[in-house]
Amino acid sequence: GQQVMQIPQYQHVQEGEDFTTYCNSSTTLSNIQWYKQRPGGHPVFLIQLVKSGEVKKQKRLTFQFGEAKKNSSLHITATQTTDVGTYFCASMGNYGGSQGNLIFGKGTKLSVKP
């Protein structure tokens, strides 16, 4: 079945350093979504990428979707303590009976040292 691999599993950075998490799939993805889950919280939608090579920015966050639509990345510039949490990529299932289902990566847990 469709799988989304996400690395790294953990990332510890000093405040002000940059952070990147990567998602990869062996199959072409219809889209990629990114969610953030704060400690003790629930996943919150950040963005959806649909088009090949798409790049979207939200303030210090930059999201990319690969040309082949098999990989994606989330880059945070100059991390702040408010960026702490687990970042999940997720892709919509594209096989019968599973349309609308999200296949989640395992997540990257970001910790930021002040």
Partner 1 sequence: DAMVIQNPRYQVTQFGKPVTLSCSQTLNHNVMYWYQQKSSQAPKLLFHYYDKDFNNEADTPDNFQSRRPNTSFCFLDIRSPGLGDAAMYLCATSSLAGERDEQFFGPGTRLTVL
> Which residues contribute to the site for partner 1 (CB under 8 A)?
31, 33, 41-45, 48, 50, 88, 92, 97-102, 104-107, 109
Q: Could you tell me the smallest distance in angstroms from the CB atom of residue 97 to partner 1?
A: 6
Closest CB to partner 1 among 44 and 55? 44
- Decide whether 52 or 99 has the Cβ nearer to partner 1: 99
Order of strands, edge to edge, in the sheet holding 5-7? 5-7, 19-24, 71-76, 61-65, 55-58
Shortest Å distance, C-beta 16 to partner 1: 26
The answer to whether the CB of 112 falls within 8 A of the CB of 13 is yes
- C-alpha distance from residue 30 to each of 26, 37, 42, 47, 90 (Å): 13, 23, 24, 14, 11
Nearest-approach distance from CB 26 to partner 1, in angstroms: 18
Q: Compare residues 75 and 106 and give the one whose CB is closer to partner 1.
A: 106
Task: Dig out the tokens for 95 from the structure.
Answer: 């096989």
